[in-house]
């Protein structure tokens, strides 16, 4: 049976991995928006819109995984908020904060791109 500390670290690494994948998907999302803006035909536009919809579904699944993993970690550690985690105890939190900030920034870029397309 895995030690509790190992489970906690594994959950943190899983959060990092999910955020990294989400960041990659958000980059693809922005690229699709650029292609949609330049689409020359209705057929091309429909194809790109379908790709964007599929990508949105992938992002939603990642969000569900992210929320579930956060919930599991909070239960495992008996905390109410991830901000309660100490970088001294869990140095991986530093990497998690870094990738989370990048994801939040990229999400803002996506929202701005979407507004520009309307």
Tens digits of per-residue pLDDT, 48-88? 999 999 999 999 999 999 999 999 999 999 999 999 999 99
The pLDDT assigned to 20 comes to 98
Whether the per-residue pLDDT at 2 is higher than 80: the answer is: no
For residues 24 and 43, what is the distance between their CA atoms, to the nearest angstrom?
A: 26
Range of the domain at 23: 4-117
Question: How many angstroms from the chain centroid is the CA of residue 89?
Answer: 24
Per the listing, tokens 């239960």 go with 75
CATH number assigned to the domain comprising residue 14 = 1.20.58
The pLDDT assigned to 7 comes to 82
- In angstroms and rounded to an integer, the radius of gyration of the C-alpha atoms of the chain is 18
User: CB under 8 Å to 20, separation ≥6 — which residues?
Assistant: 99
Q: What does DSSP assign to residue 82?
A: G
Q: Is 15 exposed, middle or buried, given 0-12, 13-18 or 19+ CB atoms closer than 10 A?
A: buried
* Count of the separate structural domains present in the chain: 1
The pLDDT assigned to 4 comes to 65
More confident residue, 117 or 67: 67
């Amino acid at each position: 049976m895995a030690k509790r500390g190992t489970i906690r670290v594994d959950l943190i690494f899983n959060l990092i991995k999910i955020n990294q994948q989400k960041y990659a998907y958000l980059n693809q999302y922005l690229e699709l928006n650029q292609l949609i803006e330049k689409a020359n035909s209705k057929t091309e536009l429909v194809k790109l819109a379908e790709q964007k919809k599929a990508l949105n579904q992938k992002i939603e699944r990642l969000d569900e995984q992210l929320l579930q993993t956060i919930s599991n970690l909070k239960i495992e550690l008996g905390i109410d908020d991830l901000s309660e985690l100490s970088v001294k105890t869990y140095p991986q939190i530093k990497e998690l904060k870094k990738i989370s900030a990048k994801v939040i920034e990229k999400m803002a870029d996506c929202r701005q791109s979407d507004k520009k397309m309307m």
